[in-house]
Amino acid sequence: LGPGAVTEADLGVIHFVTRQEGSPEAVGDVVEQMAAVGPEQATPDLLNRAIAAGEGAVQRDDWGELVRVTHGLVMLERRGGENAHHRGIGIALRRMLPRTSLERVAKLAARGNQRTEAVQVLRRMGVDGTEVLLSHMVECEDAAERRAYFNAVKEMTEGGDLLLNMLTHDQWFVLRNVAVLCGELQVEKAVHPLSKLMSHDDERVRRAAAGALARIGGTPAYEPLRRAFQDSVPGVRLEAARNLDSRRNRGLVMALALIADQEKVPDVQAEMFLALGRLSTTDALAALKKAAEPGGRLLRRKPVSIRLAAIAGLHAAGPAAASHLKEFLEDGDESVRTAVARALQTLWE
């Protein structure tokens, strides 16, 4: 656990034995004692008592108490500095937290009143902690609980490569969940495997991959995003537009403007206009202004709904779009004039 971690034999100082100190009262005592000292005072006797208390908690299936003890050790170690790794404490944690126990601690990271403590313990356990959280997250059927595991994984500092490996999983829901996580964490290394998922047979996977690519952005994501914007399923196109990061996708403006102009599904087109507004480049604003214009006479006039969606896109651009919006204050359509006036009133909010 951590740089320079050693085995019990290497350390040769602490002889770990299970002592009859595993009662709930003993847990409280040892946690209180650990809270009162620094890592330099983590004597073999104190660590032995902590291990005995932790093993007693496991025997009673009291996983909350195990979290109390292991979290106490993590905090004791941390008092030596944010990146401190005490060899004896590392060995004690490894003794108390085999894979089976880590899995139970991971459950407490998603529910109950010890989430913060459980997450800190799992983070200290490095890749192993990340792995058990990911395992629970991808297999979880309850959306709220999956989100809780999701949030816990975001707190981890090791194990990023595990995510990339899981983007080749066979089950669609695993791919979906991991793709969403890669997007929220903006894992740039995930762009290539995510781009492959844009050819997946299951639209739920493509939708998650499209949203993730839009969040991550950057030049390597442009080509798969163009495919996402032209996917046969409206929901995939919608997800790509809705999540488009305004800072990292400005190179997509012209392609998105052309695709938005040809989009036939009103909700998707409106979301694309909003994405152009967030991008807020000169070309994006020009495309939105053109989309907001009434068009030709009679049969060539645009539906008002398209014009209003473009006005909403200009509003999303903020003050940079003020001059374009003002050009529609005297528009011939009352609903357009009303939308423009309202947009100008809130443009600087």
- Overall domain count for the chain: 2
In angstroms, rounded to a whole number, what is the distance separating the alpha carbons of residues 82 and 98? Answer: 24
Is residue 118, in this structure, part of any structural domain at all? no
State which residues form the domain around 76.
1-96
Confidence band (pLDDT; 50, 70, 90) for 186?
very high
Q: Is the pLDDT of residue 299 over 70?
A: no
Q: Are 343 and 320 in contact (CB under 8 A)?
A: no
Is residue 215, in this structure, part of any structural domain at all? no
| Report for 24-28, 73-77, 227-231: range of highest mean pLDDT | 227-231
pLDDT of residue 138: 85
pLDDT of residue 41: 84
Is residue 126, in this structure, part of any structural domain at all? no
Cβ neighbours of residue 224 under 8 Å, at least 6 residues apart? 191, 194, 195, 198, 209, 213
Q: Are 121 and 108 in contact (CB under 8 A)?
A: no
Where is pLDDT greater, at 298 or 26? 26
315-333 pLDDT, tens digit per residue, is 999 999 999 999 999 999 9
Confidence band (pLDDT; 50, 70, 90) for 169?
very high
Where is pLDDT greater, at 27 or 216? 216
Q: Is the pLDDT of residue 305 over 60?
A: yes
Phi, psi of 333 (to 5 degrees): -100, 125
* Nearest C-alpha neighbor of 315 from the set 295, 291, 339: 339
Q: What percent of the chain has pLDDT over 90?
A: 73
* End-of-domain residue from the set 48, 76, 96: 96
Where is pLDDT greater, at 301 or 5? 301
Residue 12, burial from CB neighbour count under 10 angstroms (0-12, 13-18, 19+): exposed
pLDDT of residue 28: 86
Q: Is the pLDDT of residue 43 over 70?
A: yes
Q: Is the pLDDT of residue 17 over 60?
A: no
Q: Are 278 and 318 in contact (CB under 8 A)?
A: no
Is residue 114, in this structure, part of any structural domain at all? no
Q: What percent of the chain has pLDDT over 70?
A: 90
Is residue 236, in this structure, part of any structural domain at all? no
* End-of-domain residue from the set 29, 61, 96: 96
pLDDT of residue 12: 44
Q: 311 in helix, strand or coil?
A: helix
Phi, psi of 295 (to 5 degrees): 85, -165
Is residue 78, in this structure, part of any structural domain at all? yes
Q: Is the pLDDT of residue 223 over 90?
A: yes
Handedness of CA 263, 264, 268, 273 (dihedral sign): positive
Mean pLDDT value of segment 60-77? 94
71-107 pLDDT, tens digit per residue, is 999 999 888 765 556 788 999 999 999 999 999 999 9
* HSE-CB of 266 using CA atoms within 13 angstroms: 8
Is residue 133, in this structure, part of any structural domain at all? no
Amino acid at 51: I
Amino acid at 86: H
| Model confidence, pTM | 0.81
* End-of-domain residue from the set 39, 74, 96: 96
pLDDT of residue 37: 87
Confidence band (pLDDT; 50, 70, 90) for 271?
very high
Mean pLDDT value of segment 268-288? 98
Residue 301: strand pairing partners:
295
Amino acid at 33: Q
Q: 301 in helix, strand or coil?
A: strand
Confidence band (pLDDT; 50, 70, 90) for 187?
very high
* Structure tokens, 10: 């290497």
Is residue 11, in this structure, part of any structural domain at all? yes
